[in-house]
Structure 1
Amino acid sequence: MERTFDKIVDNFFEGIAPQIIIGNVILGTILFLIGLIIMVKKSPNKKLKTMGLIFLGVGAVSIINGAIQMGIFS
């Protein structure tokens, strides 16, 4: 029973894996751009700058991760 369930799940995710990777890169780009906009914006609020740095970091990691999975760096 468990093997049947595993096969169904594997087949489902195997079919949509490319869309997930592309979505990961797109979402990472959006986060990176939002973080960049927040960092460039002149705001004395330190929490906003921290949030911008977090968005920049998560976006960059997401873009690099997606690029590696697509095989761009190999």
Structure 2
Amino acid sequence: MLNLNSGYFIMLLGLAAYIVVAVTLAGFLPDHWAVQILYALVAGMAWIYPAVKFLDFSYRKQQDKKATIAKEDHPSQD
């Protein structure tokens, strides 16, 4: 199961891969200051949404795991 620490590690690997791709693509851009600024803005913010979603996913998995353990430790009196 994915825990919070492995989630952070996976996110860091994904971010490193994103940086490699973004820098590689930047090499193919035209040498014009407006294009470079626009690309820097888009590429600089594009990673935020997937990172937040991934962290939310891994955090929810961790919370679900804790809730399951708590239910097993204290079963309800049905």
Shorter-normalised TM range: 0.3 to 0.5
TM-score, normalised by the number of residues in structure 1? 0.40
Q: Which has the higher helix share?
A: 1
TM-score (normalizing by structure 2) = 0.39
Higher relative contact order (CA 8 A, sep 6+): 2
- Higher Cα Rg, which structure: 2
